[in-house]
Amino acid sequence: MAFSSTIKKTGVIGDVSYAIYSYTSAGVSTGAITTPKGILHVAWTPATVRASSTINYTTTDGTITLAGLTSGDTGFVMVILKGAF
């Protein structure tokens, strides 16, 4: 069982860049998405919204952690970063 994520799109808006990742949780309740360092903002759109689900990220190391997932949960995460991908 595993958590997987795939980068779907990247782009640049002025002096920041963005990336959109899709994810799937298969039999695990947590997962991590690794991005370049310098996260400014993360927008999360889970396909299945659960009260217990959380998303956390740190601006310095480029790690986004999803928790409280259930097998089969899917969704998208958009990341805004300083600089380029």
Tell me which residue range forms the domain holding 20.
Answer: 2-82
pLDDT at 48: 72
Domains in the chain, number: 1
Q: Which residues contact 8 (CB under 8 A, 6 or more apart)?
A: 20, 21, 22, 76
Predicted structure pTM score:
0.87
The model's pLDDT over 37-81, given as tens digits with 9 standing for 90+, comes to 889 999 998 877 777 888 898 777 889 999 999 888 899 999 999
**Predicted confidence (pLDDT) per residue in 10-25, tens digit:** 999 888 999 999 999 9
CATH number, domain containing residue 14: 2.60.40
